[in-house]
Amino acid sequence: MANTSDIKNGLCIKLKDGLWQVIEFQHVKPGKGAAFVRTKLKSLSTGRVVDNTFNAGVKIETVRIETRTYQYLYNDEMGYHFMNNETYEQIPIAKHLINAPEFLKDGLMCTIMFHAEEEIALSCDLPTHIEAEITYTEPGVKGDTATNTMKPATIDTGAEIRVPLFVDTGDWIKVDTRTGEYSERIKK
């Protein structure tokens, strides 16, 4: 058992209704009254973010979390399947636990967070950037480069993103998986 002085960003705790991860925290010592800790907690099961306040010195139950690298294989009606490259163990993960499933590509290495005692997958994070090929986009019109106008494009994962006018079908780009935005064009 820990107490409120042990709270830090990334700490996973068990509250009455599930597992939560601390996103932000602030120790507050008002001029009058007792100190307290104001936190923002993210539910590891639903992804919901809530504000919570703990009185100073209150005991909290921490949860041991492990992160492991897994390789994405495929998806079917059971979920998205990942493989541990060291043990070749395969696990299915539900779509709602993955931060950006529309950007998953075969062979992509992802970081999966596990509840260490119960061996349950809690979340799956893709790399911050992926390289993708443009499979379809309207051709850019010559002379339309005065402004930073964007146009829709479909990438090889099937996701649709917005790209600058100079990007054409067959080009390779770098996509930010956190925001789903175009980062840059790359040479292949």
The tens digit of pLDDT for each residue in 131-167 reads: 999 999 988 766 656 667 888 999 999 999 999 888 8
102 and 143: one domain? no
Q: Give the Cα separation of 130 and 127 in Å (integer).
A: 7
121 and 71: one domain? yes
Q: How do residues 17-72 score in pLDDT, each as one tens digit?
A: 788 989 999 999 988 889 999 999 988 877 788 999 999 889 999 998 899 999 99
What burial letters (b/e) apply to 65-100, b meaning 16+ CB within 10 Å? beebebebeeeeeebbbbeeeeeeeebebeeebbeb
Mean pLDDT of the chain: 89
Whether residue 86 contacts residue 135, with contact meaning beta carbons closer than 8 Å, is answered with no
45 and 14: one domain? yes
For residue 25, what pLDDT is reported? 94
Domain count, the chain: 3
9 and 58: one domain? yes
Residue of 119, 18, 4 whose CA lies nearest to 65:
119
104 and 146: one domain? no
Confidence bin at 5 (pLDDT 50/70/90) = confident
User: Which residue segment(s) compose the domain that 96 sits in?
Assistant: 65-125
Confidence bin at 16 (pLDDT 50/70/90) = confident
- pTM (2 decimals)? 0.77
Name the burial class of residue 186, with classes exposed (0-12), middle (13-18) and buried (19+) by CB atoms within 10 angstroms of its CB: exposed
Domain's final residue, options 77, 109, 125 = 125
Domain with residue 170: its CATH number is 2.40.50.140
